[in-house]
Amino acid sequence: MLKILDRYIIRKFLTTFFFMLGIIMLLAMVFDLSERLSEFINNQAPISAIILDYYGNFILYYGNMFSSMIIFVSVIWFTAKLAQDTEIIPMWNSGRPFHRFLRPYMIAATVLMLISLVMNHFILPRSNQTRLEFEEKYYRDAMSVEDYHAEYPGNQVVYFSSYLQENNTVNDFVLEKWDKKKEREIYFLKARTAVNIPGTNKWKLSDYYERYLGYPNDSVIEGKSKIVSFNFKIEEMATRDNIAEAMTYSQLKKFIEREKEKGSGNVPMYEIELYQRTSYPFATYVLTIIGVSVSSRKKRGGIGVNIALGLGIIFIYIFAMKVTTVAAMKIGFPAYLAVWVPNVLFGFIAYILYKFAQK
C-alpha cells in the first residue's frame, strides 16, 4: 500500500523525468533540424514524413537511448531540491530507515525500466526501420562498398572490388566453392559486373567466366550475360552499421548467426546491440540508487554541488561503457560482459554510497 509520501516522491520522480526528457528531446530536434534542413529541402522530403516518419521516431530512439542518464539527472535534481528545502529532514526524523525512503524511487525506476525494456525489444525495431528508411531516402549519401570478402553457407567465398548503390552494380564479382572439408576448390565464377534483381536471390552476370574443377569433369564456360540464383542478396553485403537497430530480437539473433558463418568482423557490434537492449534499462536501478545516495543530504554548496557530482559519475559511467565496447570490438572481449560489466561495477559503487547514505 502506497503512503502519501510514496505517491509524492513517485510523482516528483516521474514528472521531473518526463519534463527533462521533453526539454532535451526538443533541443535535440532543433539542433538536428538546423543541420538537416537544407538536405530535406534539396531532396523534397514531405513535411508529414519529416514530422511523423523521422522526428516521431527520432524522439523514441534517442529518448530511450538516453533515458537512464536523464533518470539519473532527474533523481539528483529533485532529491537535492527536497534536501535543500529541508523536506527530507522531517521524513527521516519520523524514524523511517533509508531503505524505506528509497522504496518509492525504486517503484518509479521499475516503471521506467519496464517501459524501456518494452521499447527496446518490441517498439523501437519497427520504429527504427521507418526512421532509417527515411534517412536512406532523403539525406544519407548513396552507399558504396570496397574490397568485399566473406564466406557464405555451402563453403562459398565471395569477393568483389566495389559496389555502388546508385546503379545497384557489383564490380569484379568472384565466387568460389570448396568441398565439404574446404581442402579443394570445386567451382570458380568470375563476372565483370553482377546485379541482384530486387527482392530475389537472382543475379544478372555480365562477361562471366565459370569453371568446374575436378578431373575428369573439368570444364570452362564463358558468356556475355547470364542469370543465376545464389543463397545471398546484396542487402547482406552492402549494409550500414546501424542495420541491427531495425531488427527484432529473433531477427537479430538469426542475423548474428549468419554473420558468424560469413566470418564478418562486425559480429561484436551486432552482439553489443543485442545485449544492451536489456542491460541499458537495468542501469536505471543502479543510477537511481547512486542518485538518491549522493543528493539526499543538504550540502553547503547547494544543488549545484550535487549536480556536478552527478555529472561526474555519468561521465565515468559513459567512459566505462566505451572502454568495454571498444574492448569487445577490437580485442575479442565477450560482448555480453562488455555491456554488463559497467552495470556491475557501478552496482558496487551504488551499494557503497547506499551504505554511507544510511549513516
**Concatenated DSSP letters of 103-130:** HHHHHHHHHHHHHHHHIIIIIHHHHHHH
Judgement on whether residues 211 and 134 belong to the same structural domain of the protein: no
Structure pTM? 0.83
Judgement on whether residues 74 and 133 belong to the same structural domain of the protein: yes
Structure confidence at residue 93 as a pLDDT band (50, 70, 90): low
What is the mean pLDDT of the segment spanning 64-71? Answer: 90
Judgement on whether residues 24 and 122 belong to the same structural domain of the protein: yes
Query: All 3 cell numbers of residue 122?
Result: 518490441
Domain count, the chain: 2
Structure confidence at residue 358 as a pLDDT band (50, 70, 90): low
pLDDT of residue 309: 76
Structure confidence at residue 302 as a pLDDT band (50, 70, 90): low
Q: Would you say residue 257 lies in a domain?
A: no
Query: All 3 cell numbers of residue 43?
Result: 531532396
DSSP labels, 7-26: HHHHHHHHHHHHHHHHHHHH
Q: Would you say residue 46 lies in a domain?
A: yes
pLDDT of residue 207: 95
Judgement on whether residues 123 and 161 belong to the same structural domain of the protein: no
* Residue predicted with more confidence, 3 or 273: 273
| pLDDT 10s digits, 215-261 | 777 888 999 999 999 988 888 888 877 888 889 888 899 889 888 88
**Which of 239, 256, 289 finishes a domain?**
239
Residues 45, 51, 57, CA angle at the centre, nearest 5°?
Answer: 110
Q: Would you say residue 133 lies in a domain?
A: yes
Judgement on whether residues 134 and 155 belong to the same structural domain of the protein: no
| pLDDT 10s digits, 179-213 | 888 788 889 999 999 999 988 899 999 999 999 88
Give the C-alpha separation, 177 to 186, whole Å: 6
Task: Please list the residues that pair with 330 across neighbouring strands.
Answer: none
Q: Would you say residue 254 lies in a domain?
A: no
Q: Would you say residue 54 lies in a domain?
A: yes
Query: All 3 cell numbers of residue 174?
Result: 568472384
pLDDT of residue 299: 63
Q: Would you say residue 205 lies in a domain?
A: yes
Judgement on whether residues 158 and 231 belong to the same structural domain of the protein: yes
Judgement on whether residues 127 and 156 belong to the same structural domain of the protein: no
Instruction: Please give the backbone phi and psi of residue 198, each rounded to the nearest 5 degrees, phi first.
Output: -50, 135
Cβ neighbours around 285 below 10 Å, total: 20
* Residue predicted with more confidence, 290 or 96: 290
pLDDT of residue 298: 66
Structure confidence at residue 173 as a pLDDT band (50, 70, 90): very high
Judgement on whether residues 206 and 83 belong to the same structural domain of the protein: no
Judgement on whether residues 134 and 149 belong to the same structural domain of the protein: no
Task: Answer whether residue 95 shows pLDDT above 60.
Answer: yes
Q: Would you say residue 341 lies in a domain?
A: yes
Judgement on whether residues 135 and 149 belong to the same structural domain of the protein: no
Residues 6 or more apart whose Cβ sits within 8 Å of residue 328 = 268, 271, 272, 334, 335, 337, 338
Residue 227 lies in domain: 144-239
Query: All 3 cell numbers of residue 276?
Result: 544492451
Judgement on whether residues 133 and 163 belong to the same structural domain of the protein: no
pLDDT of residue 249: 87
Q: Would you say residue 260 lies in a domain?
A: no
Structure confidence at residue 285 as a pLDDT band (50, 70, 90): very high
Q: Longest Cα pair distance anywhere in the chain, in angstroms?
A: 94
Cβ neighbours around 99 below 10 Å, total: 10
Place of cell 530536434: 29
Residues 6 or more apart whose Cβ sits within 8 Å of residue 11 = none
**Which of 239, 255, 289 finishes a domain?**
239
Judgement on whether residues 118 and 37 belong to the same structural domain of the protein: yes
